[in-house]
Amino acid sequence: MSSVLVADADRPREGSASRAVVDVAVGVLIQPDGDFLLTSRPPGKVYEGYWEFPGGKLEPGETVEQALRRELHEELGIAVGAVVPWRVELVDYPHALVRLNFCKVFEWAGELQMREGQSFAWQRLPVRVAPVLVGTVPVLGWLARERQFEGATHLVADRRHP
C-alpha cells in the first residue's frame, strides 16, 4: 500500500485524528475488449454524481471478496465470477478514512441494473466521464501503466481531476 491519498485537503476532517479505517471492496470490471466499468455515486451519498469503480463497505466478518460479491449484486444486480485481488489504496476523505481494496473482475452474469439510481459507463483511457472521485484516479494510472497508455498524464479527457 502506498502513502495516504488526501482528498479535499482544504476541508476539515470529521472525527478525531485517530479515526478508524473503513474497509471498502472495489470491483474493477473489465470486458474482453479492455473497457472497464465506472458508476456514478448515487443521489444522497457523499460525492453524489462523482464517477468511481463500484463496490462498498465490508460488513463485520466479511472478507473483501464476500463484500464485493454482495455489493455488486445489491448495487448492479450481477453475480461475479473469479475475484482477483489487485491493489490497496488508503484515501483520507473529509468524511472518512477509507482503505480501498481493489479487485479485478473479468466474468459476471446478469444484466447491469442500476439499483441505487446511479449511472454507469463503460470506459477506456482517457475516461470521458467527470468528475472522477479522487480514490478512482490511482486506478486509472495503474491501468495506464499496465496497458502502456501513451497519454498517462491525461487519464480523464479534456477535464481536470477534482
Mean per-residue pLDDT, 93-100: 95
Mean model confidence pLDDT for the chain: 91
59-69 pLDDT per residue, tens: 999 999 999 99
Cα 59–chain centre separation: 17
At residue 134, the pLDDT reads: 94
Half-sphere exposure of 94 (CA within 13 A, CB side): 8
97-124 pLDDT per residue, tens: 999 999 999 999 999 999 999 999 999 9
At residue 15, the pLDDT reads: 84
129-159 pLDDT per residue, tens: 999 999 999 999 999 999 887 655 567 665 4
**Beta partners for 28?**
104
- The three-state DSSP-derived secondary structure of the chain is CCCCEECCCCCCCCCCCCCCEEEEEEEEEECCCCCEEEEECCCCCCCCCCEECCEEECCCCCCHHHHHHHHHHHHHCCEECCEEEEEEEEEECCCCEEEEEEEEECCEECCCCCCCCCCEEEECCCECCCCECHHHHHHHHHHHHHCCCCCCCCCECCCCCC
32-65 pLDDT per residue, tens: 999 999 999 999 999 999 999 999 999 999 999 9
Domains present along the chain, CATH in parentheses: 5-146 (3.90.79.10)
